Amino acid sequence: MLSRTTRFITKHSLLQTSLNFPKFQFCTAATLPTVKNNSPPSLEEEPQFLDMVHQYFDLAGTLTEIPKDKLEIYKQCNTVLKVRLPLLRDNGKMEFIPAYRAQHKHHRLPVKGGTRYAESIDLQEVEALACLMTLKCAVVEIPYGGAKGGIQVDPSKYSTRELEDLTRRYTLELAKKGFMGAAVDVNAPDMGTSEREMAWMRDTYTVFYGHSDINAMACVTGKPVPQGGIRGRVEATGLGVFFAVREFLKRKEITQKFQIEGDGFQGKTLIVQVKGI
């Protein structure tokens, strides 16, 4: 039921907001941030990411006949985990680094979502991303619930040994608390992580739990191909953007609304923003 509901909500929300956004403007004069001297709102005035996700969810919910109490259940995150990971730095100093994992909905198992390493990550961000994962899986009928997690760290400031220690300790914390496993919660690469981190996670989980979990290697996706990964995973996200834009440009009602001339990519200039290069 949740899959069908979230698929309806997301599809109709995206369609209506792209074709007729002013009709569904949900901000009011009381909730809009005050703009002074034509300057953008401050960080204190800007809604948090989780608030933004919930606002759009509430907006889409008005297009359905689902009771508000049920929508509230669908919206909220089921389970969250916050831990602090001890790390002995190469310089001999100790750090305790926050780490998180959010499981949004368990209506279908396992839950599925990426693990990111970023200084900006916090609990509300992983809750928001986990909610979006539930909706994305429902839209394309993938039988998973949504999840998301990460470690509050800038990978560029830590050595390979330090990152490996953090990753392996994070894996153990997740597994001990029921936040990891092929039938429970499957991690994946995200911002700041790659198949290297997934290999560390897979290895750690398999060493400690492989004797009792025949599917231990499936505890993560995005692994190196020799370790059970699949070809095409690295470029999958970029290809998804390409296919989405290609389909977007086929919609005459959308291209005319935004005054985009011509069909497809031919004759158009694309701006690509890349972080970390």
Coil, strand or helix: which one is 260? Answer: coil
* C-alpha separations of 145 from 33, 36, 61, 200 in Å: 34, 42, 19, 24
Phi, psi of 130 (to 5 degrees): -65, -40
Compute the distance between CA of residue 269 and CA of residue 53 in angstroms, rounded to an integer. Answer: 30
What values do phi and psi take at 272, rounded to 5?
-115, 125
Spatial distance between the Cα atoms of 63 and 49, rounded to a whole number of angstroms: 22
Tokens of 166: 């953090």
Please count the other Cβ atoms lying within 10 Å of the Cβ belonging to residue 269.
5
Residues 6+ away with beta carbon under 8 Å from 113: 102, 129, 130, 133, 146, 147, 148, 149, 186, 187, 188
Separation between Cα atoms, residue 128 and residue 125, nearest integer Å: 5
Label the pairing between strands 94-103 and 185-189.
unpaired
Out of 136, 148, 257, 268, which one is annotated catalytic? Answer: 148
217-236: burial string, b at 16+ Cβ within 10 Å, e else: bbbbbbbeeeeebeeebeee
For this structure, is 268 an active site residue? Answer: no
The tokens describing 80, both together, are: 């969250």
By annotation, the residues acting in catalysis are 148
